[in-house]
């Protein structure tokens, strides 16, 4: 008897819009969004947005970069860039600050240039820079003086809206019954919603079945601990 090959789901990239119109706002990110939209009337020329993976830091950064004409550089690559050229537009977004991959002296030099050039700097990080173990004392002191806002976990309304948006990004539609079923059974975070929707979509493609509550019940029988 010849075995029937299993249908394989293709791992396709799904474009996610980072426009202001597609940003989902709620109590968890209101302070950060207000700060971004308040630019250039900031309490300091450098600010930090802190939040877990998938919480919307890159989306907020993209909104600000578009408004400010800012260049964007990954924090781990700061030692590879010319800081004066990076600040050529007068604004810079430094993404994903992480003490483990950070060139501390490069960031300290950059922050000094921001002050000297009267430029603007937005930093995103998963944890507050004030809690990072840094080897350069002057950098630690400088970061403690930078105002920050923190993104928190989404409420029910925002999490439901996120599921709808993530599905739309994949050109999918989620029924209300499916959303109600998923809500208590997925991790209550932006990252958790992304993982759950990707899992559901990939399994539906693999089985060549529509996205239904019945399919979800086979994948998400229990709420996460």
DSSP 8-state code for residue 88: T
> pTM for this one?
0.80
Domain 27-150: give its CATH architecture: 3-Layer(aba) Sandwich (3.40)
* pLDDT of amino acid 2: 38
* pLDDT of amino acid 55: 87
Which of 90, 39, 78, 85 minimizes the C-alpha distance to 60?
39
Domain residue ranges in the chain: 27-150, 156-219
Reported as a single tens digit per residue, the pLDDT across 52-76 is 888 889 999 999 999 999 999 999 9
Reported as a single tens digit per residue, the pLDDT across 136-161 is 999 999 999 999 999 988 889 999 99
Cα separation, 158 vs 173, whole angstroms: 17
DSSP 47-106: EEEE--TTSSHHHHHHHHHHHHT-EEEEGGGGGGS-HHHHTTTSEEEEEEE-TTT--HHH
């Amino acid at each position: 008897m010849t075995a029937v090959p299993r249908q394989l789901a293709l791992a396709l990239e799904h474009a996610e819009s980072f426009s202001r119109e597609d940003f989902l706002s709620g109590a968890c990110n209101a302070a950060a969004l207000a700060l971004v939209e308040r630019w250039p009337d900031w309490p300091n020329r450098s600010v930090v947005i802190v939040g877990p993976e998938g919480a919307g830091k890159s989306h907020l950064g993209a909104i600000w970069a578009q408004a400010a004409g800012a260049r964007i550089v990954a924090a781990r690559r700061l030692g590879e860039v010319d800081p004066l050229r990076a600040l050529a537009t007068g604004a810079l977004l430094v993404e994903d600050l992480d003490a483990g991959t950070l060139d501390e002296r490069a960031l300290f030099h950059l922050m000094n240039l921001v002050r000297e050039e009267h430029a603007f700097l937005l930093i995103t990080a998963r944890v507050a820079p004030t809690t990072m173990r840094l080897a350069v004392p002057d950098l630690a002191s400088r970061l403690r003086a930078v105002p920050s806002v923190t993104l928190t976990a989404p409420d029910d309304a925002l999490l439901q809206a996120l599921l709808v948006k993530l599905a739309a990004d994949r050109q999918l539609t989620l029924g209300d019954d499916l959303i109600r079923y998923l809500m208590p059974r997925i991790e209550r975070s932006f990252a958790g919603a992304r993982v759950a929707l990707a899992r559901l979509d990939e399994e539906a493609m693999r089985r060549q079945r529509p996205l239904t509550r019945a399919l979800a019940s086979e994948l998400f029988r229990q709420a996460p601990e």
